[in-house]
Structure 1
Amino acid sequence: MTTLLHLDSALFPEGSASREITAAFVEAWRKANPDGDVVYRDLAADPLPHLDSTAAAAGADDALRRELAAELAAADAVLIGAPMYNFTIASTLKAWLDQVIVVGLNAGRPDGPVAGTPVTVVASRGGSYAPGTPRQDFEFVQNYLEKVLNGMLGAEVDFIVPELTLAHSRPEMAELVPLAEASRARALDEAVEKATALGARLAAV
């Protein structure tokens, strides 16, 4: 049996591009893994406490950090909905990362329990921060998550990036609506394809 750890961090439950795409991923994952399990955390609806000095000093001896680290270590794959807020991730997702990353337990060692775990990140954003765009230097979602998830935990990180999600609600972006719709459609297709392929790959192990 395979386990998918699914995290959402979008503030609003309705109309969220990242939530729609992570839901499509989970649906395809369940079809590929009918006997599998999905562990879900909605970090917006049920936020974790920010890391304080007591928990930081305790490390793996802190009950919450130990629980979160064990949950992550037990996952065969991870799915993270990470919309961009003010050029970076939501503070709730940062709180999860600060709590779950414990140096010596799952970080800072090449043979850690998360090393090699596939992590798919749905990095939605209201505009475009792709290479060659005027705001490419303002992109701190993919850059940060790649470094922390791969660089610290050794996970295999893959991104699905729906862009221009604000085009329907911003008059000044009206001409970008077709591009936004195309980006969202591609992201949904990617989610299904990647979940199905990943599920089949892990089921064959």
Structure 2
Amino acid sequence: MSTIFRLDSSIRAVGSQSRAVASTLEDAVREQVGQLDVIRRDVGVFPLPATAWAFATQALALGVHSAPKARGERTADETTAMALATDLADEMLAADAYLFAVPLYNYGVSQHAKAWIDLLITEPRFSVKVPSPIAGRPAYLVVARGGAYGPGTPREGWDHATPWLRRIFEDVWGLNLTLIEVELTLADVNPEMASLRDLAAASLGQAHAAARHAGEQLAKQWMASPAHASTPA
């Protein structure tokens, strides 16, 4: 059975377009392959503890004799944080592909997604100092933005999240990343953006079409692989 790891980071459980587009991709894969195992980590609705990264970092600090801290030197909070980092790493390693749904908040990365990435990087297997254990695996980044940030728009260059996320997913972890973008998601609820609603609808439609196509292509790739062919449907 093929496995997808899915990360959701929208603070909205209902009405989130990043979630909706990600679900289109997930459903497209499932329709083709039948059985699909999805490992879900919803940091938008169920955030990681805000202190976890700091405690995990402290757990990796130097202890006595200028050597890395032994397990017995770690505090209870540090031990808990490192255990959570291990869980996050295990989830990633158990997947064959990755689906990240990350909205743009205040021109930057969702704090919930950032906390997840920061904590995961403290785990030795996902450290920036070692080769990525998931390099080459397919991944999909669904980005939802309330406004427009493309070339020629008033806020061109204000999206400080997507380039950073690509740096982590592509350059640090070596994933084979496909970017799926939807913009103007606030047009339906912001009267000042009423004139942009047709453009918003077109952007959303294109994102769902791109997600469906990506899901179908991933499914075809899996169906053609000997490993999948030997797995009962």
Q: TM-score, normalised by structure 2?
A: 0.81
Identity of aligned residues (%): 36
- RMSD, matched Cα: 1.8
Equivalences for residues 1-205 of structure 1 within 5 A: 1-50=1-50, 51-58=52-59, 62-102=82-122, 104-108=124-128, 111-205=131-225
Deviations 1:123-178 (A, max 9, x none): 01111111232212111121110011112111122211111111111111111100
Q: Distance in 2 between matches of 1:174 and 1:47?
A: 33
Give the deviation of 1:110 after TM superposition.
7.0
2:150 match: secondary structure: coil
Give the deviation of 1:113 after TM superposition.
1.2
Q: Distance in 2 between matches of 1:189 and 1:38?
A: 21
Q: Distance in 2 between matches of 1:106 and 1:203?
A: 29
Distance 1:132 1:110, change over 3 A: farther
Q: Name the larger-Rg structure.
A: 2
Q: Distance in 2 between matches of 1:204 and 1:112?
A: 25
The answer (yes or no) to whether the contact 2:53–2:119 under 8 Å persists in 1 is no
Give the deviation of 1:190 after TM superposition.
0.8
In the alignment, which residue of structure 1 is the partner of 2:69?
none
Deviations 1:99-141 (A, max 9, x none): 1124752243674211112221110111111123221211112
Distance 1:13 1:103, change over 3 A: closer
- Kindly provide the amino acid, as one letter, of the partner of residue 208 in structure 2: L
Deviations 1:75-96 (A, max 9, x none): 1111111111101121111111
1:154 match: secondary structure: coil
Q: TM-score, normalised by structure 1?
A: 0.92
Distance 1:129 1:36, change over 3 A: same
What are structure 2's unaligned runs of at least 5 residues?
61-78, 226-233
Give the deviation of 1:41 after TM superposition.
1.6
Distance 1:155 1:57, change over 3 A: farther
Q: How many residue pairs are counted as aligned between the two chains?
A: 204
- Kindly provide the amino acid, as one letter, of the partner of residue 116 in structure 2: W
